[in-house]
Structure 1
Amino acid sequence: MGFKGFAEGGIASIVAGCSTHPLDLIKVRMQLAGEKPALPNLPPALAFNASRSVVAPDYYHIPPPQPPRVGPISVGMRIVQSEGVSALFSGVSATVLRQTLYSTTRMGLYDILKTRWSDPDSGSMPLTRKITAGLIAGGIGAAVGNPADVAMVRMQADGRLPVAQRRNYAGVVDAITRMSKQEGITSLWRGSALTVNRAMIVTAAQLASYDQIKETILEKGVMKDGLGTHVTASFAAGFVAAVASNPVDVIKTRVMNMKVEAGEAAPYSGALDCAMKTVKAEGPMALYKGFIPTISRQGPFTVVLFVTLEQVRKIFNQF
């Protein structure tokens, strides 16, 4: 029974993750927009002026240009034009590994807890227990999958760096291997506290709200148990998860992607420092950067996840 829950959740998660990967990549690029890019190694005079966003004598006092606001479609078109269509699937190998580790674990554990905590007579579980099960399952799953999550963020963000500074990972195994050698094993769990917090929020919001909304639809007789009910409940669950998790996701992305040069202080000392610097430099709404692609991805991802899950369950129940 327990193994089936892990297998069903893992298959559904991999299908959903791969099919919505381009939207996730666009989201990451938008979340990193506004960060000051690392400067290449320049002579002191040029480096000073480059930090002012213009290579010019100091007396000009030219203010740095403000980046224009762009939407997900513009970001996607820019990626395709500058890096090619294949760039939309940068880091997809890390997505597969992440879903295999993280989502398989969280979906399987949630299924086990749901089975144990449900009322034996009615088979239902109170919302508070669903949320608790989601928090526990999401936290454990995130801790297991964090190395793949870090690799995925870096591979997705690589194209926005200057060519000389790109990491150019060959794949998720290369990314994890090089990070371990160059930055130490602990770098694989960089931002893990944020990953765990985000995963707890997402899993509780996503799985608990899906089950609750689906049960309500069926109990009220609004729709029968079928594709329409699954799509409706899953899209609503995706919206709830996106609203709840976006601020943590922005900070997680920036902490994981930061480049720490040898002998120099890290751009952020931690999650709180990153949040404060982000809000101070870009305003509170910076925590909702990438929200449109987040909901644009979270909605389809959650729909594909649960629709696939329901179909996989039907297949598995035949054996």
Structure 2
Amino acid sequence: MGLKGFAEGGIASIVAGCSTHPLDLIKVRMQLQGEKIHAPAPQPIHNLRPAFASVGTTTLHVPTAQPAPPIRLGGPISVGARILQTEGVAALFSGVSATVLRQTLYSTTRMGLYDVLKHEWTDPETAHMPLAKKIVAGLIAGGVGAAVGNPADVAMVRMQADGRLPAAQRRNYKSVIDAIARMARQEGVASLWRGSALTVNRAMIVTASQLASYDQFKEIILERHLMSDGLVTHVTASFAAGFVAAVASNPVDVIKTRVMTMKVEAGRAAPYSGALDCAMKTVRAEGPMALYKGFIPTVSRQGPFTVVLFVTLEQVRKILEDF
């Protein structure tokens, strides 16, 4: 039973992750909209006035830097359309190799571990598992899975966000392997676990809310005979679980995205010293609702992702039930 649960969860997660990747990319871009990171002050230019104050009767002026163009904010449709116009269709799948690796590491671990805990903690007499135990199982499974998959998560977020930067500032990772190798070489191995505390916290919240609520919604539907155990029940329970997961995880997800994508230059202080600093600066500069930036694409992505995840999982379980 043990290894089969990991295989079933991994297959379903990879299918769900790849099929909803463009929505996840749009969510990341929206979470970074309006981010206010102060650039370092320009170096002062000394002694220019005496030498260049005048030449004959013509005064020479040192040109001043032009202000940066305003950041264009928008909803998921306008953000998606802008990506298509400026970067092309392929940009919607930027970082998809990292998604595959992330789902292989993170989701396979969390889905398999949750399945193990569910079988261990289910009452054999009633064949039920209390909601509290489902939540605890989700918290444990999500935390362990996130710790395993964090390097792929950092690479995925960076690759998804790269296209929003000016061409000269883009990292231009060729693949998830290239991203991980360059991060380790240029920024140290520790950079692969940048934001890991946030990743673990988010994964615990998502897994507990997503898996526990799916099982709970499904049980309620079947126990009250609202529907039979079939595709419609799976879709209904999984979409409700996706909404719960989106509401619970979005604030942590915004902070995680910003911490993972920040540029840390040698000799300069990092834009954020940690998750709390990022949260405070975000709220101070953009207001409390900034923590729910990208919520619509998060729901739009979590809904289909969770539906595809659990519908695929139920089908894979049927296929592998004799193994």
TM-score category (smaller protein)? over 0.9
Asked if 1:142 corresponds to 2:146, the answer is: yes
Q: Do the aligned residues in 2 keep the contact of 1:157 with 1:257 (CA within 8 Å)?
A: yes
Q: Do the aligned residues in 1 keep the contact of 2:34 with 2:73 (CA within 8 Å)?
A: no
User: Cα 1:39–1:85, aligned 2, differ >3 Å: closer, same or farther?
Assistant: farther
Find the aligned partners of 1:32 and 1:17 in 2 and give their Cα distance.
21
Asked if 1:106 corresponds to 2:121, the answer is: no
Find the aligned partners of 1:47 and 1:244 in 2 and give their Cα distance.
49
Paired amino acid for 1:181? R
Asked if 1:22 corresponds to 2:28, the answer is: no
Deviation, 1:121, is 1.4
Aligned mate of 1:267, from 264, 271, 287: 271
Find the aligned partners of 2:231 and 2:139 in 1 and give their Cα distance.
27
1:53 alignment partner in structure 2: 68
User: Cα 1:205–1:161, aligned 2, differ >3 Å: closer, same or farther?
Assistant: same
The structure with the larger Rg is: 2
2:50 alignment partner in structure 1: none
Structure 2 unaligned segments of length 5 or more: list them.
Answer: 46-61
Deviation, 1:111, is 0.2
Paired amino acid for 2:220? T
1:57 alignment partner in structure 2: none
Aligned mate of 1:183, from 187, 194, 208: 187
1:171 alignment partner in structure 2: 175
1:28-107 to 2 correspondence within 5 Å?
28-36=28-36, 49-50=65-66, 52-53=67-68, 65=70, 67-107=71-111
Deviations 1:228-286 (A, max 9, x none): 00000000000000000000000000000000011100000000000000000000000
2:136 alignment partner in structure 1: 132
Tell me which stretches of 4 or more aligned residues in structure 1 moved more than 2 Å: 36-50
Find the aligned partners of 1:24 and 1:298 in 2 and give their Cα distance.
9
Q: Do the aligned residues in 2 keep the contact of 1:39 with 1:47 (CA within 8 Å)?
A: no
Deviation, 1:39, is 6.1
Q: Do the aligned residues in 2 keep the contact of 1:41 with 1:47 (CA within 8 Å)?
A: no
Deviation, 1:122, is 1.9
2:49 alignment partner in structure 1: none
Paired amino acid for 1:180? A
User: Cα 1:73–1:47, aligned 2, differ >3 Å: closer, same or farther?
Assistant: farther
Deviation, 1:36, is 3.7
Find the aligned partners of 2:78 and 2:315 in 1 and give their Cα distance.
35
Deviations 1:65-87 (A, max 9, x none): 4x454110100010011001000
Q: Do the aligned residues in 2 keep the contact of 1:114 with 1:130 (CA within 8 Å)?
A: yes
Q: Is the deviation greater in 69-78 or in 170-179?
A: 69-78
Find the aligned partners of 2:150 and 2:223 in 1 and give their Cα distance.
38
Find the aligned partners of 1:313 and 1:41 in 2 and give their Cα distance.
58
Aligned mate of 2:218, from 214, 227, 240: 214
Secondary structure of 2:116's aligned partner: helix
Q: Do the aligned residues in 2 keep the contact of 1:201 with 1:241 (CA within 8 Å)?
A: yes
Paired amino acid for 1:153? V
Deviations 1:128-183 (A, max 9, x none): 00000000000000000000000000000000111001000000000000000000
Find the aligned partners of 1:286 and 1:48 in 2 and give their Cα distance.
32
Find the aligned partners of 2:101 and 2:117 in 1 and give their Cα distance.
24
**TM-align CA RMSD:** 1.9
- Matched residue count: 307
Paired amino acid for 1:306? F
1:251 alignment partner in structure 2: 255
Find the aligned partners of 1:314 and 1:47 in 2 and give their Cα distance.
70
2:287 alignment partner in structure 1: 283
Asked if 1:307 corresponds to 2:322, the answer is: no
Asked if 1:297 corresponds to 2:309, the answer is: no
Deviations 1:291-316 (A, max 9, x none): 00000000000000000000000000
Find the aligned partners of 1:278 and 1:178 in 2 and give their Cα distance.
28
Find the aligned partners of 1:37 and 1:159 in 2 and give their Cα distance.
18
Secondary structure of 1:78's aligned partner: helix
Q: Do the aligned residues in 1 keep the contact of 2:161 with 2:261 (CA within 8 Å)?
A: yes
Structure 1 unaligned segments of length 5 or more: list them.
Answer: 55-64
User: Cα 1:155–1:3, aligned 2, differ >3 Å: closer, same or farther?
Assistant: same
